[in-house]
Amino acid sequence: MCGIVGYVGADHAKEKIIDGLKRLEYRGYDSAGIALPIDGKIQIRKHVGEIRNLEKIIGEPEFDSAVGIGHTRWATHGAPSDLNSHPHGNSDNSIAIVHNGIIENYQEIKEWLARDYGVTFKSETDSEVIAHLIGIFYDGDLLEAVNKAVAEMRGAYAVCAIAAAEPDKIVAVRKDAPLVAGVGKGFNFIASDIPALLKYVRQVYLIENNETVVLTKDDIVIYNEEGRKVRRDVFNVTWDADAAEKEGYEHFMLKEIHEQPKGIYETLTRRINDDGSIRLDGISMTKEDIENFNKVYIVACGTAYHAGLVGKLVIEKMAHVPVEIDVASEFRYRDPFVDENTLFIAISQSGETLDTLAALREAKRKGARVLSVVNVVGSSVARESDDVFYTWAGPEIAVASTKAYTTQLICMYLLGLYMGKTKGTIEDDYYDKVLSDLKALPDKVELLLKKEDEIAEIARKYHRREQVFFIGRGLDSGVSYEGSLKLKEISYINSFAIAAGELKHGTIALMEEETLVFALATQDFLYEKMVSNVEEIRARGARIISVAKEGRTEIEKVTDEVIYIPDCIDEVSPVLAVIPLQLFAYYVARERGCNIDKPKNLAKSVTVE
Ligand code: G6P
């Protein structure tokens, strides 16, 4: 995710800002930039790629100041490029800003500024409007101008602004995006995240929503929404920089598991209009295109493929179109039936997986319409697709994918609903029910995460097993594959997933005393069949951990442990059912002392065949 660092002091702002930005590198970014007030003007330097690219263009001693703001960008609006990087200036660069978050009404503001003030825009970003807004309201008082600009903005933001005419200060403001001020002696910092500051300060003020902060070298003044000064206790940071990057979590994987309510919210909510219709920015498929598809092909690798397994059932049910699914490494070598009436969906967190990219090219060559579901903006898969549907999960650092998976699922639902509505294959009542259950997911996931201790306890009990099975039916079968993959990836336990109904055709031969089986039983219409499957293996002495919806207690009679997930319609339960499996895998691996964030032999992004 984007990172912000601002410094006000006596000298060498450049050095401190670069230090701070480097501390935020672990979060992933695609470009970096810095703005300094020098001799009555603001100078902005920015560069796509790594911070070292930026360092190459800011080397000369004259490019320095006692004050400055810097940014690492993770693209959301507009591909990674020099121009789209932050900081952004207004028309005469008398104001510069850096921004984290999304300005939802930026198009409206853009049109208004262009029409009434003749503003021309240099970038494709939503953020640039902030610099112009502040510029238009600026009348010698940066704080006042920032407040006026904020009143025009809707969305989420942490913004830091500097003005050429007030070169001794930074004004910052936040709403739904983190911001902290670091307290120094003769200098002060502002940043999006604590790790950026730890080399220089240990005391910080945590800025709250709708607060504005004015930083000078000797003072940090916080104002509330009504413009009144706020007294804030300092927060003493006791963690080291390494722990701070993980925001107190022991591993990135656990942090990312906990970021799922936010990722789901971001991916979902911004795409739903007030009237319940779905807005798919970046997707230009027409009604006619959608009606003309006689087949959908989903292709992906690893966890993304497992999201596709759920996507297949969801899209078939909602959009009444046959959906085939394949792993990319198979698809690309088997001359599949794909033509101009095929919608080809590539799912990829990184957007750089070589097999997925090759499969996409193959589908394109055969004339398919290519839509990708991708987390990394501007990645190769995104660039080569006709339409891109972004999962707004934020950067995923742990090799084992968690928040990318749940946000990929959200994209599958939105796509199913959108296609179904467009084709008229979905009843209004059913559409409304799915939508309302989807909207309830962030809170329900949050609730489920509160069962972390209970799940950790179960993991402690079973962590020495060397073999685990995962079974489920319908949508649960897809989730079983993901649960099994999570466990084997990070704990090196031999885990195996199979559709529960298929057990009796071979795998049941392996069931014996103490065999551990995870049984997913969240599909109401398959619940009884699932209970029978569990009974069959229980009769052979297997130990069962089941995952069921609250209130479906029948299964307790045949299992050793039950983890209940909040009630919901069957269709959306995969988003909830996977959470206990992620936590189980995490705590088992932790008990076994594994290198959770970087498991052996695995890579986050596989760019080779
Ligand atoms: C690697 C990663 C997996 C990931 C898969 C697909 O194997 O370790 O976590 O699911 O690649 O990656 P993608 O970036 O295309 O989703």
pLDDT score for 609: 62
489 Cα to the center of ligand 1, angstroms:
11
Per-residue model confidence as pLDDT tens digits over 549-606: 999 999 999 999 999 999 999 999 999 999 999 999 999 999 999 999 988 888 877 7
pLDDT score for 553: 94
pLDDT score for 568: 97
8 Å CB contact between 477 and 578: no
pLDDT score for 75: 86
pLDDT score for 78: 82
Confidence of residue 185 (pLDDT cuts 50, 70, 90): very high
Query: What would the mean pLDDT of 478-490 be, rounded to a whole number?
Result: 98
Single-letter code of the amino acid located at 363: A
359 Cα to the center of ligand 1, angstroms:
15
Query: What would the mean pLDDT of 17-34 be, rounded to a whole number?
Result: 89
Confidence of residue 261 (pLDDT cuts 50, 70, 90): very high
400 Cα to the center of ligand 1, angstroms:
8
Residue 179: is its pLDDT beyond 80? Answer: yes
d(CA 302, CA 316): 22
pLDDT score for 591: 98
pLDDT score for 598: 86
In the beta sheet, which residues pair with residue 223? 212, 229
8 Å CB contact between 547 and 521: yes
With CA atoms as reference, report the closest residue to 54 among 36, 76, 78.
Answer: 36
d(CA 143, CA 173): 10
With CA atoms as reference, report the closest residue to 373 among 384, 381, 361, 362.
Answer: 381
Q: What percent of the chain has pLDDT over 90?
A: 84
| Average pLDDT taken over every residue of the chain | 94
pLDDT score for 606: 77
Angle (deg, nearest 10), helices 573-591 and 452-462: 50
238: its two tokens: 């006791």
Q: Is 411 a catalytic residue?
A: no
Q: Is 57 in the pocket of ligand 1 (CB under 6 A)?
A: no
pLDDT score for 308: 98
Confidence of residue 244 (pLDDT cuts 50, 70, 90): low
pLDDT score for 24: 86
Residue 28: is its pLDDT beyond 80? Answer: no
d(CA 134, CA 130): 6
- Please identify which of the residues 2, 160, 568, 594 carries the catalytic annotation: 2
Q: Is 302 in the pocket of ligand 1 (CB under 6 A)?
A: yes
- Ligand 1, residues 604, 607, 608, 609: which to mutate, most atoms within 8 A of Cβ? 604
Provide the whole-model pTM.
0.77
Residue 352: is its pLDDT beyond 90? Answer: no
Per-residue model confidence as pLDDT tens digits over 29-68: 889 999 999 999 999 999 999 999 999 999 999 999 999 9
Helix (H) or strand (E) holding 473: none
Indicate the SS3 state at residue 36: strand
With CA atoms as reference, report the closest residue to 99 among 67, 132, 138.
Answer: 132
Query: What would the mean pLDDT of 208-233 be, rounded to a whole number?
Result: 94
Per-residue model confidence as pLDDT tens digits over 66-91: 999 999 998 877 889 999 999 999 99
Query: What would the mean pLDDT of 413-441 be, rounded to a whole number?
Result: 97
Helix (H) or strand (E) holding 580: helix 573-591
Q: What residue owns the CA closest to ligand 1's atom 3? A: 302
pLDDT score for 605: 74
The residues, ordered by sequence, that sit 6+ positions from 345 with a Cβ below 8 Å of its Cβ are 296, 297, 298, 299, 308, 311, 371, 372, 373, 415
Residue 253: is its pLDDT beyond 80? Answer: yes
352 Cα to the center of ligand 1, angstroms:
9
pLDDT score for 74: 85
605 Cα to the center of ligand 1, angstroms:
6
Q: What residue owns the CA closest to ligand 1's atom 4? A: 302
d(CA 68, CA 60): 16
- Residue labelled with tokens 């601002």: 6
User: Which ligand 1 atom lies nearest to the CA of residue 400?
Assistant: 9
pLDDT score for 601: 84
Q: Is 80 in the pocket of ligand 1 (CB under 6 A)?
A: no
Peptide bond into 87 cis (omega under 30): yes
Burial 1-20 (b: 16+ CB within 10 A, else e): bbbbbbbbbeeebbebbbbb
Q: Is 2 a catalytic residue?
A: yes
402 Cα to the center of ligand 1, angstroms:
11
pLDDT score for 206: 86
d(CA 516, CA 505): 19
With CA atoms as reference, report the closest residue to 369 among 286, 451, 312.
Answer: 286
Query: What would the mean pLDDT of 504-530 be, rounded to a whole number?
Result: 95
Confidence of residue 226 (pLDDT cuts 50, 70, 90): very high
Least confident of 283-287, 302-306, 413-417: 283-287
Indicate the SS3 state at residue 121: coil
Query: What would the mean pLDDT of 278-297 be, rounded to a whole number?
Result: 93
Indicate the SS3 state at residue 168: strand
Per-residue model confidence as pLDDT tens digits over 197-220: 988 999 999 898 899 999 999 999
- Ligand 1, residues 331, 345, 376, 401: which to mutate, most atoms within 8 A of Cβ? 401
Q: Is 328 in the pocket of ligand 1 (CB under 6 A)?
A: no
28: left (phi over 0), alpha (psi -120 to 50) or beta: left
pLDDT score for 600: 85
